[in-house]
Each structure stands twice: as C-alpha cells, then as structure tokens.
Amino acid sequence: MALAPTLGWCAAASVVAVVVAALVALVGAAPATGAPWFDARLVRIAAFSVWQATLSTLLAIALGLVVARAMARRRFPGRAIVLRLFGLPLVVPAVVAVLGLVAVWGRGGWINEALAAFGLPLLPSIYGLHGILIAHVFFNMPLVARLMLTAWSTIPAENWRLASEFGLTTHQVFRLVEWPALRAAVPGAAALVFLLCLTSFGVVLTLGGGPRATILEVAIYQALRLDFDLERAVVLALAQIVLGAVFVGASRSLCRALPLGPSLERPWARPDATGLAGRLIDGAIIVLAIALVASPLLATAARAASAPVAAVLAESASWQAAARSLAVGLAGGALATVLGVAVALGARRCRDPGAGAAIEAVGVLTLVVSPLVLGAGLFVLALPVINAVAIVLGLVVLVSALMTMPYAVGLVGAGLASRAIERDRLCAALGIAGWNRLRLVDLPAVRRPIGLAYAIAASLSAGDLGAIALFGDQDSETLALRLYRQLASYRLDEAAVTALVLMGLAFALFFVIERGVGGRGDA
C-alpha cells in the first residue's frame, strides 16, 4: 500500500480505537442500575439540543450570507483587517466570549445602558435560549461569512461579464449568478455550524440559565460531575453521536458540485455594485457585523482595565495556569495537526473513493463525540495502571487534539485538492512517489494550511474547558478552568483579568504559529 493511504488508515484507526476504548471503559465501569436508557428527560434534552442548534444554524447561515455578500460587493481600505477580525471568534475561548457578551448584552451591559439613556425598554436577561443564540451567532456568523466568501471567489469572471451585458438587477444577480455557486457550499457550512452548536459545552454551561436550557453535552457533564452516573453519561453521548451523524448524512446528501467551465480569470466589475443605496446598505451591514464581533472583545478588555490587574497578575497561580494552558495548546495543537494531515493525505491519495471517504469521515467523527465522555473513559482506563490524577494534563492534551483534529482535516484536505491534478501528473512524469512525494511535493504544497490548522488547534486547545472541567484541580488548573471558577464564584473583576490573559494567549498562539509555521508567502 502507498505511503499516504497507509498513514491515513493508521491515523483513522488510532482515532477510532481511542474513542471506542473510552466508551467501552465507561460502560464497563458503570454499575447496572436497571434504569431505562431512554426516558422523557432524555427526549426533552435531545429535542432542546436539536432546537437550539437548528435556530443557531439558521441565524448564522442567514446573517453570514448577508455579511459575505456585502463584503464580496465592496473593496475598501482595511478590508483585510475586517476579514482578520472575522477569524478571531474561532479562536476566542468560549468562557472569554461569554464574559464579553454579558458585558454587552447583559442586564447592566452596554446595550441596556444605551436603551435606558433613551428611555426605551431594556433587553431581558441574557441567560436562556436567546443568550445561547447570541453567543452562537457571535462564534459562527463570521465563520460562515468567510466560508461563503470562498464560494463567491469561485464564480468565473465570464459570469460577471454576461450579467453586466444583460443588465441584471441585484436580485437577478443573486438568483442566477451567485446562488448556483453558493448552494453547493451552504449544506457543508450548515453541517459544521450545527455540530459546533450541538456540542457547545462552554456557552450553554454558562448561559443556559437552568435545566430548561440544557443540551446533551451539559447533561453529560452533570451526569459525570454531579451524579457520577456513568451509564447515563454513555447513553447521552450515544444520543449525541446519533443526532450528529444523522444531520451530517442529510447535509452531505444535499451537497452537489457545480460544473463550471474553464474561466478566463479576468477581473470584472459587478453590475449591481454602483448604486448609492446599495453602498449604504452594504456599509451598514459591514459596520454592524464588525460591532457584533468586536464589541464583546472590547468589553472584556475595558472591564479588565478597570479591575485590579496588578493584584491578579501578582498571584503565582495565574502564571502557573497560563503555563499549563500554553503547554496544552502547543502539545494538543501539534497532535491534532499531525493526525489531521495524515487523515487528509490518506483520504486524498486513496485509490478507492469509498475508502477515502471512510478515512475522511473518521476525521470529522470527533465533532459529535463528547469530549467529557472521552476524557472520563480515558481517565477510567488509566486508573489501573497509573495515577490518573498525575496525568490529567496529558488526558486534556489528547482530548483537545481529537476535538480540534477536524479543522486540520478540512484545511489540509482543501489545500491538497487545490491543483491536485497538476501535481499528480508532475509526480507521475518524474517518478516521484512514497516518502519523496510526501517530502518534496505534498507537504510544501500545504504548508500554509498546515500552519493555519496548527494555529487554530493550538488556540482552541489552550482555551478548552471540556475535559479539564471534569477532573481538573489546583495542581492542574488551566486559565480556562480558573476563569470558569472565578465566574462561578462571582469574582467578576478577577475573571475579567484572567479572561484578558487567556484571550491574549490564544491570539498570540494563533498569530505566531500561523506566521511561523505557515510562512508569509505562498507555499
């Protein structure tokens, strides 16, 4: 078997083995209670999980399309900075974003202060379904906008030339030119957002507001942490996997490739981008999108500036937590990137399309696997052979790597698909195969996607609140866990400083790794 498919199968088999071993260990450790696996409470929690994820997905897709279209129609100074800003929510730790969202949308937040100044009715409490939706829009609308901008860039210049010659209106341009390119990308983006919202642990844990707004992931945390009901946790995890798999399968059946002819690749002005009304509307949309993304980050920084920064930073526990977060981020990101590159290479270079699809499917499996159940199962596995408390951070690294691996699979896979035919022909003509092809052709071709994948995975791992929330203690406390405990005990000023440090660490990891590993120029 060729080298790339072998690496892909080994990585995929390792991921499946870890997931299955964790589930089996948890089932084996669970005492037989005789309680029914499915009951009304499970149905209610699953229904709310799907409901909030569906609403969040619809909002994120709709708003993301509107923002992406405004960005696609306009070229303005600072456009690249705006696109960079839209990438920040992806790497902002959930607990940091929640603190900023409360400062903007909460009872005493910026918006309510402005409404009170004009004598208008105040917004209700942010805790509950609408708070969850606001947080999910903050995280996922920019992601959708950037994905859709990529779809817009695939529209050939000849289509714009024909639209200009026929004098199409803005609605006709969208229906006849833009939507045919977008409809192939929307189901995939919707599936990604749905899975992220279905398993949104940190957001719902802090903004859910009670049992009426509980999703499967939070119920798993309660079953493990509060009730120590292992059997219940496994049932909830299986329900989450089934729901995620059903939705992914349905979305994949809606995806269809768009057959486009060869493009002359000449730039051509849009026929619907010259009117004053259109410029004003697009400008307002872009400004509102910037405000939605930037305001929680600014609110977090503003609150931290008025807090006792020196006193919080003088605590040795803060620096120890920062060091642990940095170590988890670097190690978890590296492992996620290695696994993701192996899976993407194996899926791309596998001769059998069905086998390649199976390898790629394993690459997104962890999006629907509960990191809490995975961490708990691995903890149970480690207990008989080693002091599991001593390897808590190692378990957190492994779980974080598996949870962030899908980003690496998607980014590297897209990079390999670009100009794949030309690379295949060149390698066949020169007789380059195996390790030489991997070293000389494949890896250099995806250097920038690898750098971006490592940057995203490291940032997300550094701020992850999943597995560490279960069995983290004072000796293994990361910044994310420290921030959550400060919020839970209403030490909001200290939490603001910790949030600012964690946000700075995540951003530093992202920018340094992206430039350091991916490079500045095209690979």
* 497/487 Cα distance (integer angstroms): 12
* Residue 384 per-residue DSSP state: T
For the chain, helix, strand, coil in percent to 5 are 75, 0, 25
Distance, CA of 454 to CA of 141 (rounded, Å) = 22
pLDDT bracket for residue 185 (50, 70, 90): confident
Q: Does residue 379 fall inside a structural domain?
A: yes
* Residues 162 and 194 reside in one and the same domain: yes
Work out the mean pLDDT of the chain and round it to a whole number: 82
Instruction: Please tell me which of 334-338, 386-390, 487-491 the model is most confident about, judged by mean pLDDT.
Output: 334-338
Label residue 435 by pLDDT band (50, 70, 90). Answer: low
In a domain, 262, yes or no: no
Query: Do residue 373 and residue 247 come from a single domain?
Result: no
Q: Residue range 288-295: average pLDDT?
A: 94
Q: Is residue 204 part of a domain?
A: yes
4 and 52 both lie in a single domain: no
Q: What is the pLDDT of residue 253?
A: 62
CB atoms closer than 10 angstroms to residue 252: 13
* Each residue's pLDDT tens digit, 353-370: 777 778 877 877 788 888
Stronger pLDDT, 418 or 46, i.e. the higher one: 46
Instruction: Tell me the average pLDDT across 41-50.
Output: 90
What does the pLDDT average to over 481-507? 87
> Are 283 and 324 contained in the same domain?
no
- For residue 199, what pLDDT is reported? 86
Each residue's pLDDT tens digit, 190-217: 888 898 898 888 888 888 867 778 898 8
Mean pLDDT is highest, among 52-56, 214-218, 415-419, for: 52-56
- pLDDT for position 36: 64
Using the predicted structure, report yes or no on whether residue 163 has a pLDDT greater than 50: yes
Highest averaged pLDDT of the listed ranges 170-174, 256-260, 478-482: 478-482
pLDDT on residue 34: 62
Pair 296, 103: CB distance under 8 Å: yes
Least confidently predicted of 190-199, 381-390, 478-487:
381-390
DSSP assignments along 449-512, one per residue: HHHHHHHHHHHHHHT--SHHHHH--TTT--HHHHHHHHHHTT-HHHHHHHHHHHHHHHHHHHHH
Residue 172, domain member (yes or no): yes
Same domain, 333 and 245: no
b or e along 285-320 (b: 16 or more beta carbons within 10 Å of the residue's beta carbon)?
bbeebbebbebbbebbbebbeebebeebeeeeebeb
**CA–CA distance, 350 with 3 (Å, rounded to integer):** 10
d(CA 245, CA 461): 24
- The enclosing domain of 244 has a CATH number of 1.10.3720.10
- Inside any domain, residue 261: no
Q: How far apart, in whole angstroms, are the C-alpha atoms of residue 234 and residue 126? A: 31
What is the predicted pLDDT for the residue at 139? 93
Residues 71-89 pLDDT 10s: 888 888 888 889 888 888 8
Higher-confidence position of 175 and 333: 333
Q: Are residues 93 and 9 in the same domain?
A: no
Highest-confidence range of 22-36, 49-63, 141-155, 389-403, by mean pLDDT?
Answer: 49-63
Task: State yes or no: pLDDT of 61 exceeds 90.
Answer: yes
pLDDT above 90 as % of the chain: 21
Rounded to an integer, the average pLDDT of 159-187 is 79
| The pLDDT value given to residue 289 | 94
Contacts of 469 (CB under 8 A, 6+ apart): 201, 205, 221, 225, 372, 481, 484
Whether residue 492 is predicted with pLDDT greater than 50 in this model: the reply is: yes
275 & 299 share domain: yes
Mean pLDDT, residues 146-167: 77
At a CB cut-off of 8 Å and minimum separation 6, what does 288 contact?
A: none
Helix 447-462, helix 316-349: angle, nearest 10:
140
Q: Is the pLDDT of residue 292 over 70?
A: yes
Per-residue confidence band for 57, with pLDDT thresholds at 50, 70 and 90: very high
Is there a domain that residue 161 lies in? yes
Are 225 and 322 in a shared domain? no
Residue 121 · residue 115 · CB < 8 Å:
yes
Q: Is the pLDDT score of 259 beyond 70?
A: no
Residue 422 domain-assigned (yes or no)? yes
Structural domain including 367 reads 1-32+307-523
Top-ranked range on mean pLDDT: pick from 174-178, 296-300, 354-358:
296-300
Q: Are residues 331 and 221 in the same domain?
A: no
In the prediction, which pLDDT does 401 show? 92
Res 93: pLDDT: 86
Whether the predicted model's global pTM rises above the 0.75 cut:
yes
If one counts every other C-beta atom within 10 angstroms of the C-beta of residue 338, the result is: 17
Choice among 81-85, 135-139, 379-383 with the minimum mean pLDDT: 379-383
Other CB atoms within 10 A of residue 77 CB: 6
Per-residue pLDDT, 137: 95
503 occurs within a structural domain: yes
Mean pLDDT along residues 408-436? 71
Asked if residue 522 has pLDDT above 80, the reply is no
CA dist 223 and 213 (Å) reads 16
State whether 408 and 496 are in the same domain. yes
- 197 and 334 together in one domain: no
Residue whose entry in the numeric block shows the structure tokens 């095209």 = 522
Does residue 372 share a domain with residue 249? Answer: no
Looking at the structure of the chain, the number of domains it has is 2
